[in-house]
């Protein structure tokens, strides 16, 4: 009797000792068709439901740059308010820059920048009622807000670090509530 080959991964409740998934076939990428070509997902048969997503990111700045922002001395103007507006505008235009994103009528978008010792936490919450979620809009809002901070302060700080952009929570649709474990 031939024993199954080990996959090198430890067996779990969901896998066999050979590493095969007991739950059935692996999940498919929704934006890839059977021939491996990218495609826009057809959402025409999906019900319209309330959707919400929250994303976060961080922009790390030099201490001198933080002092300039907090004292209102950045030559281009207030980078925080400009970043908020850029984030909201970007959320509204997400389908223009992410190729397979559906254009959505957003009912709400809020972008906040909260001070930390070494920079700013950025958070965006986006809402709509529709057949597809707003995760990409929330992520795009955070990214655009962070890039705008960089643009506003690059004359005094080219070492700005943008990072940790991630989805924190999404609500609505078939999958319901998802929250990141923090």
How do residues 131-179 score in pLDDT, each as one tens digit?
A: 999 999 999 999 999 999 999 999 999 999 999 999 999 999 888 999 9
Catalytic residue among 33, 34, 42, 151: 151
Length of the chain, in residues: 182
pLDDT higher than 80, residue 61: yes
Q: Is 140 helix (H, G, I), strand (E, B) or coil?
A: helix
In the residue annotation, 96 being an active-site residue is answered as no
Q: What is the 3-state secondary structure (H, E, C) of 32-44?
A: ECCCCCECCCCCC
The model carries a pTM of: 0.82
Query: Which tokens sit at 79?
Result: 């980078």
Domain residue limits, the chain: 49-173
Query: CATH homologous superfamily of domain 49-173?
Result: Molybdopterin cofactor biosynthesis C (MoaC) domain (3.30.70.640)
Cα–Cα distance for residue pair 59/30, rounded to 1 Å: 31
Choice among 13-17, 31-35, 115-119, 121-125 with the minimum mean pLDDT? 13-17
């Amino acid at each position: 009797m031939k024993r199954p080959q080990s996959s090198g991964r430890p067996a779990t409740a969901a896998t066999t000792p050979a590493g095969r998934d007991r739950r059935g076939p692996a999940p498919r990428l929704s934006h890839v068709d059977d021939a491996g070509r990218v495609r826009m997902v057809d959402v025409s048969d999906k019900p319209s439901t309330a959707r919400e997503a929250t994303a976060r990111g961080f922009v790390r700045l030099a201490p001198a740059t933080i002092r300039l922002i907090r004292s209102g001395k950045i030559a281009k103007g207030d980078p925080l308010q400009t970043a908020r507006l850029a984030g909201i505008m970007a959320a509204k235009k997400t389908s223009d820059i992410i190729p397979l994103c559906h254009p959505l009528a957003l009912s709400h978008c809020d972008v906040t920048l909260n001070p930390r010792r070494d920079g700013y936490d950025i958070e965006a919450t986006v809402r709509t009622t529709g057949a597809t979620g707003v995760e990409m809009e929330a992520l795009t809002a955070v990214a655009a807000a962070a890039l705008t901070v960089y643009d506003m302060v690059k004359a005094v700080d080219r070492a700005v670090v943008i990072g940790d952009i991630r989805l924190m929570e999404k609500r609505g649709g078939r999958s319901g509530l998802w929250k990141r474990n923090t």
